[in-house]
């Protein structure tokens, strides 16, 4: 990876990552100076499985991470009442919620999670009696070595909620939540906030408050009682009864005309400064229930959706619009597209970006580029299992052109549009280009298939800054190879790919004797093709030290240099891995583009632009793609340790953090941009 400094002497700088150039109307002593920024606006992910039980397992794995959990809440995935109060207990115990079926034999996902992610001495809480979670689950768990089990199950859902509340052992005066026990949406809407704050969730019906819950309220004397639900399900008489049980409490109702408006009311009350949005179906309970613990970690909202036409409720839309200028970053969907359609995610992203309609604001000329054909993307998934969860990135690439002269004039900006490649691991969703002042904007395609935006701006006054914004939305994911499947041939038919991906070339000296020697040693120590690719990947990471200063002029030295001097930048890492693979007749190529990361919950682009990873200047990241039939091109990144430390095979390296771009309508080409101080224009080479 390279981090370039902006040189004050440069007359203009193109968009580095997309090889954009700024063509100016004057070539001598040009007063127009271009600069660039690139920012990630949004990342989103989907935690899902083939059914509610696998989805719950996926969410639970995200809650526990790589650690063994010391507690676990087990709830029914078939019925909601006993489980509704469980999120508060789960958060207090730092435990995930796992959902089970009605029999041990049909709960394989739950037991797989437990045996791999829960410590043997952990405390396991059953949310519900044996009528909900049969006694055979206790017996099965004991046979697996789990002996610390607590069953919180009463005669009905109301007593169960009081038992769970007592298990939370809250201090006197702790606020409580009263919610309708005959349906689930209202309880789910407040679950992450209640769990985050440690407020017990207690269930009531429309007629009265059960004796057990009355006893709890009288003992706790909560400072605040939140009643969630409208008068149709919890009448005012129950609020009066609750007030009489705790005379000094403040009793307040949170409700709307339906479950979705109630959800928006609750989120508006408790999530005025969210850092993360979680999205779940409001038509069924399992996904939001399991996800409530994850949302509770940061006290962030769960947005409930479920309109028949996949549109957002007006109240939810209005809530989201309040954040469109705050650059909120992360969205996580609980459940598959059958539960939460992609259309919801797109609508939410558009609202947060402030792009509900494509019509530009006054003074802005905008052109929407039609989405690419995605047939090949869809077909590709028939040959391999996707790794992890798809991640949707919304990225803006922005550059400015400034009139530094003393005269009013005109400028023509030629913007080579960034075009996310339509590949096995990524799908372009949306592209647009806009300029923030009155200008003539047209989009053309050159003979090489590259789309260009031609922007003609007249009457540009001294000091005026013109901002051009390229925006794209792309869904990316990795691919998982099962080594035991033995599908990858020991000898790859190189005729399946272009010869350039097998032969040596500049910077990829796969025919050099030193590279051939290392390649042979790696092959001799490997058990097969996949093992050889993995060993090659690890050899490069462990051999080459990252040193940006070694590449003078912000250019890489290539494979042989990386092997000889054991230092280089990301291009050198990639060149060496590709050279070693080609030396063993394994097709490989260098890919360039973005590397994306959520970091500490804040999406960023690597490399960020400029000194110290700030948004002022930069160049593309490079990694490797290896051709492994029948899976196709598999990505790996030898520069960063975190891409290999947690995974045993190269096929399991997640690639949902990389985005490649088409160049000359061919994503196979490697593109690189670097500065030329003499002219101030970026130079592009492809190979």
Render pLDDT for 151-197 as a digit per residue (tens, 0 to 9): 999 999 999 999 999 999 999 999 999 999 999 999 999 999 999 99
**Which pLDDT score, from 0 to 100, does residue 509 have?**
94
Q: Is the pLDDT of residue 91 over 80?
A: yes
- What CATH number did the domain enclosing 569 receive? 3.10.620.30
Q: Is the pLDDT of residue 354 over 90?
A: no
Mean pLDDT for the stretch of residues 331-351: 83
Highest averaged pLDDT of the listed ranges 507-511, 623-627, 663-667:
507-511
- 169 is a domain residue: yes
Residues 535 and 656 grouped into a single domain: yes
Residues 158 and 287 grouped into a single domain: yes
Residues 555 and 456 grouped into a single domain: no
Structural domain that includes position 425? 32-44+362-478
**Which pLDDT score, from 0 to 100, does residue 245 have?**
97
Q: 352 vs 305, which has greater pLDDT?
A: 305
Q: 308 vs 154, which has greater pLDDT?
A: 154
Secondary structure (3-state) at 37? strand
Q: 488 vs 20, which has greater pLDDT?
A: 488
Residues 630 and 571 grouped into a single domain: yes
Q: Determine whether 525 is exposed, middle or buried from the number of CB atoms within 10 Å of its CB (0-12, 13-18, 19+).
A: exposed
Mean pLDDT for the stretch of residues 474-496: 66
Mean pLDDT for the stretch of residues 6-18: 21
Q: Is the pLDDT of residue 677 over 80?
A: no
Q: Is the pLDDT of residue 146 over 60?
A: yes
Mean pLDDT for the stretch of residues 192-208: 95
Q: Phi, psi (5° rounding) for residue 264? A: -65, -40
Lowest mean pLDDT among 34-43, 76-85, 133-142, 655-664: 655-664
Under a CB-based contact definition with an 8 Å cutoff, are residues 320 and 352 in contact? yes
Mean pLDDT for the stretch of residues 402-431: 69
Render pLDDT for 44-72 as a digit per residue (tens, 0 to 9): 788 888 889 999 999 999 899 888 999 99
pLDDT band at 310; cut points 50, 70, 90: low
- 306 is a domain residue: yes
Q: Is the pLDDT of residue 287 over 90?
A: yes
Render pLDDT for 22-49 as a digit per residue (tens, 0 to 9): 333 222 344 544 444 444 445 678 888 8
pTM here is 0.56
- 345 is a domain residue: no
Render pLDDT for 373-395 as a digit per residue (tens, 0 to 9): 332 222 222 223 333 455 666 66
Q: Is the pLDDT of residue 610 over 60?
A: no
**Which pLDDT score, from 0 to 100, does residue 458 have?**
84
- 18 is a domain residue: no
Cα angle: 626, vertex 630, 636; to 5 degrees: 25
**Which pLDDT score, from 0 to 100, does residue 374 have?**
31
Residues 321 and 410 grouped into a single domain: no
Residues 613 and 682 grouped into a single domain: yes
Render pLDDT for 471-480 as a digit per residue (tens, 0 to 9): 767 666 655 5
- Contacting residues for 647 by C-beta, under 8 A, at least 6 apart: 653, 654
Q: Is the pLDDT of residue 497 over 80?
A: no
Lowest mean pLDDT among 8-17, 68-77, 328-337: 8-17
Residues 538 and 496 grouped into a single domain: yes
- 577 is a domain residue: yes
- Contacting residues for 135 by C-beta, under 8 A, at least 6 apart: none
- Domain end residue (candidates: 478, 505, 532): 478
Whole-number percent of the chain with pLDDT over 70: 66
Q: Is the pLDDT of residue 228 over 80?
A: yes
Mean pLDDT for the stretch of residues 642-669: 36
Mean pLDDT for the stretch of residues 546-573: 75
% helix, strand, coil for the chain, step of 5: 30, 30, 40
pLDDT band at 115; cut points 50, 70, 90: very high
Residues 432 and 307 grouped into a single domain: no
Residues 322 and 258 grouped into a single domain: yes
In 181-324, where do the E strands start and end? Answer: 201-204, 224-228, 250-254, 276-281, 302-305
Give CA separation, 268 vs 189, 233, 311, 359, in Å: 11, 21, 19, 28
Lowest mean pLDDT among 159-163, 430-434, 535-539, 611-615: 611-615
Residues 433 and 502 grouped into a single domain: no
**Which pLDDT score, from 0 to 100, does residue 388 have?**
44
Secondary structure (3-state) at 673? strand
Under a CB-based contact definition with an 8 Å cutoff, are residues 457 and 483 in contact? no
Q: Is the pLDDT of residue 7 over 80?
A: no
- Domain end residue (candidates: 432, 448, 478): 478
Lowest mean pLDDT among 277-281, 448-452, 577-581, 625-629: 448-452
Helix crossing, 513-524 with 570-583: angle to 10°?
70
Whole-number percent of the chain with pLDDT over 90: 41
- 661 is a domain residue: yes
**Which pLDDT score, from 0 to 100, does residue 371 have?**
35
- 524 is a domain residue: yes
**Which pLDDT score, from 0 to 100, does residue 363 have?**
32
Residues 158 and 58 grouped into a single domain: yes
Per the structure, how many domains does the chain have?
3
Neighbours of 40 (CB within 10 A): 20
- Domain end residue (candidates: 461, 478, 495): 478
State the average pLDDT for the chain.
74
Mean pLDDT for the stretch of residues 604-619: 31
**Which pLDDT score, from 0 to 100, does residue 392 have?**
67
- 649 is a domain residue: yes
Residues 258 and 245 grouped into a single domain: yes
Q: Is the pLDDT of residue 368 over 90?
A: no
The pairing of strands 365-369 and 409-416 is: unpaired
Q: Is the pLDDT of residue 118 over 60?
A: yes
Three-state SS annotation for 416-456: ECCCECCECCEEEEEEEEEECCCCEEEEEECCCCCEEEEEE
Cα–Cα nearest to 419, from 473, 461, 377 = 473
């Amino acid at each position: 990876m390279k981090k370039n400094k902006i040189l004050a002497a440069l007359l203009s700088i193109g968009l580095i990552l997309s090889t954009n150039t700024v063509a100016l109307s004057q070539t001598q002593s040009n007063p127009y100076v271009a600069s660039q920024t690139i920012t990630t606006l949004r990342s989103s992910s989907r935690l899902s499985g083939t059914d509610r039980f696998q989805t719950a397992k996926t969410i639970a794995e995200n809650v526990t991470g790589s650690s063994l959990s010391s507690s676990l809440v087990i709830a029914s995935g078939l019925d909601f009442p006993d489980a509704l109060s469980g999120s508060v207990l789960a958060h207090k115990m730092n435990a995930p919620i796992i959902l089970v079926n009605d029999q041990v034999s049909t709960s394989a996902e739950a037991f797989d999670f437990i045996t791999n992610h829960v410590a043997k001495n952990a405390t396991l809480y059953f949310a519900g009696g044996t009528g909900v979670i049969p006694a055979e689950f206790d017996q099965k768990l004991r046979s697996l070595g789990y002996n610390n089990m607590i069953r919180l199950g009463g005669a009905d859902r109301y007593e169960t909620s009081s038992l769970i509340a007592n298990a939370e052992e809250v201090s006197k005066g702790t606020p409580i939540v009263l919610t309708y026990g005959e349906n689930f949406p209202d309880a789910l809407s407040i679950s992450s906030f209640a769990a985050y704050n440690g407020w017990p969730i207690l269930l009531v019906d429309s007629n009265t408050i059960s004796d057990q819950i009355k006893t709890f309220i009288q003992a706790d004397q909560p400072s605040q009682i939140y009643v969630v639900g409208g008068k149709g399900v919890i009448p005012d008489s129950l609020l009066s009864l609750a007030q009489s049980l705790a005379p000094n409490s403040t009793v307040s109702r949170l409700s709307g005309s339906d479950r979705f408006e109630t959800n928006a009311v609750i989120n508006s009350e408790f999530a005025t400064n969210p850092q993360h949005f979680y999205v779940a179906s409001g038509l069924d309970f399992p996904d939001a229930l399991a996800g409530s613990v994850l949302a509770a970690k940061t006290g962030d909202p769960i947005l409930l959706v479920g309109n028949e036409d996949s549109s957002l409720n007006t109240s939810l839309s209005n809530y989201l619009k309040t954040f469109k200028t705050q650059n909120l970053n992360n969205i996580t969907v609980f459940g598959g597209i059958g539960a939460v359609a992609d259309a919801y995610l797109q609508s939410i992203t558009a609202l947060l970006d402030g792009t509900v309609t494509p019509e530009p604001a006054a003074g802005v000329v905008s052109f929407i580029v039609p989405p690419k054909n995605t047939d090949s993307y869809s077909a590709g998934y028939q040959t391999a299992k996707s790794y992890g969860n798809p991640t949707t990135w919304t990225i803006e690439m922005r550059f400015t052109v400034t009139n530094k002269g003393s005269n009013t004039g005109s400028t023509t900006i030629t913007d080579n549009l960034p075009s996310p490649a339509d590949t096995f691991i990524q799908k372009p969703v949306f592209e647009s280009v806009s300029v923030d002042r009155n200008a003539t904007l047209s989009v053309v395609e050159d003979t090489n298939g590259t789309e260009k935006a031609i922007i003609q701006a007249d009457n540009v006054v001294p000091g005026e800054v013109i901002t051009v914004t390229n925006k794209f939305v792309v869904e990316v994911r990795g691919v998982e190879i099962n080594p035991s499947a033995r599908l990858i041939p020991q000898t790859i038919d190189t005729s399946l790919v272009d010869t350039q991906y097998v032969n040596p070339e500049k910077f990829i000296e796969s025919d050099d004797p030193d590279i051939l020697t290392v390649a042979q040693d790696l092959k001799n120590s490997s058990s097969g093709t996949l093992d050889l690719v993995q060993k090659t990947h690890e050899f490069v990471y462990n051999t080459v030290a990252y040193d940006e200063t070694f590449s003078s002029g912000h250019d890489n030295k290539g494979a042989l240099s990386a092997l000889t001097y054991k230092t280089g930048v990301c291009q050198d890492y990639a060149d060496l891995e590709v050279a070693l693979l080609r030396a063993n007749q394994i097709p490989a190529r260098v890919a360039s583009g973005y590397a994306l990361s959520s970091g500490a919950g804040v999406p960023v682009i690597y490399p960020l632009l400029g000194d110290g990873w700030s948004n002022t200047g930069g160049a593309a990241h490079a990694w490797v793609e290896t051709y492994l039939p029948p899976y196709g091109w598999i990505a790996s990144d030898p520069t960063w340790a975190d891409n290999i430390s947690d995974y045993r095979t190269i096929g399991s390296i997640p690639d949902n953090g990389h985005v490649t771009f088409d160049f000359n309508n061919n994503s196979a080409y490697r593109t690189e941009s670097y500065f030329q101080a003499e002219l101030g224009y970026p130079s592009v080479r492809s190979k």
